[in-house]
Chain A
Amino acid sequence: MNENLKTSNIIPHIILIIGVIVVAFPIYFGFIASTQNIESILHGKSGIIPGSDFVNNYLEILSPDKKILPGISIWRLLLNSLIVTLLITFGKTAISIISAYAIVYFKFPFQKFAFAVIFLTLMLPIEVRIVPTFQMASNLNLLDSFQGLSVPLIASATATFLFRQFFMSIPNELCEAARIDGAGPIRFFWDTVLPLSKTIIAALFVILFIYGWNQYLWPLLITTKQSMNTIIIALTQMISHDGTTPWHLVMGVAIIAMIPPICVVILMQKWFVKGLIDSEK
Chain B
Amino acid sequence: MEKRSGFNSKLLPYLFLAPQLLISGIFFFWPALLAVWQSFLKEDAFGLKTEFVWFENYKEIFHDSNYLNSIFITLIFSISVTLICLISALILAGLVNKIKAGKYIYQTLIICPYAVAPAIAGVLWYFLFSPSIGYIANILNILGFNWDPSLNGNHALILIILSASWKQISYNFLFYLASLQSIPKSLLEAASIDGATPIRRFIDIIIPLISPTTFFLFIMNLIYTFFDTFGIIFTTTQGGPGYSTTNLVYKVYVDGIVNLNLGGSAAQSVILMIFVSLITILHFRFVEKKVHY
Contact = CB atoms under 8 A, between A and B. Distances in A.
B118 interface: yes
Q: Binding site of A, secondary structure by majority: helix, strand, loop or mixed?
A: helix
B210 interface: no
Given A1-B192, A19-B110, A105-B7, A12 B119 contact: no
Contact of B35 (A132, A155, A251): A132
B23 A99 contact: no
Given A30-B124, A129-B35, A236-B123, A12 B98 contact: yes
B218 interface: no
B135 interface: yes
Contacts of A176: 5
B151 interface: no
A281 interface: yes
A130 to B, nearest CB: 6
B265 interface: yes
A168 B293 contact: yes
Which of the listed residues B8, B20, B91 has the most CB atoms from chain A within 10 Å of its own CB? B20
Contacts of B92: 16, 19
Given A3-B198, A29-B128, A106 B174 contact: no
**Chain A interface residue bracket vs B:** 35 or more
Contact of B133 (A42, A101, A217, A269): A42
Contacts of B171: 276
Nearest to B89: A19
B183 interface: no
A151 B170 CA distance: 28
Contacts of A172: 3-5
B153 interface: no
B68 interface: no
A124 B273 contact: yes
Interface in B19-42: 19-21, 23-24, 26-32, 34-35, 38
Contacts of A281: 287, 291
B3 to A, nearest CB: 7
Interface residues of B, number: 99
Contacts of B269: 128-132
Contact of B21 (A13, A117, A214): A117
B75 interface: no
A239 B133 CA distance: 14
Nearest to B105: A20
A134 B34 CA distance: 11
Interface in B234-293: 234-235, 249, 252-253, 256-257, 262, 265-266, 269, 272-273, 276-277, 280, 287, 291, 293
A120 B102 CA distance: 43
A24 B109 contact: yes
A29 B136 CA distance: 10
Nearest to B113: A23
B123 A95 contact: no
Given A105-B6, A117-B21, A261-B115, A127 B252 contact: yes
Contacts of B192: 1
Interface in A28-85: 29-30, 33, 41-42, 44, 46
A117 B223 CA distance: 21
B187 interface: no
9 shortest interchain CB distances as A-B pairs: A214-B117, A132-B31, A216-B231, A102-B16, A132-B34, A106-B13, A155-B23, A261-B115, A131-B256
9 contacts: A9-B99, A24-B112, A106-B9, A106-B16, A122-B280, A151-B27, A188-B7, A236-B119, A254-B120
Given A19-B91, A131-B256, A269-B107, 19 more contacts: A12-B99, A23-B109, A29-B127, A29-B135, A44-B138, A46-B135, A104-B6, A106-B8, A121-B28, A125-B227, A130-B256, A131-B262, A152-B27, A216-B119, A217-B230, A217-B253, A251-B127, A262-B112, A280-B287
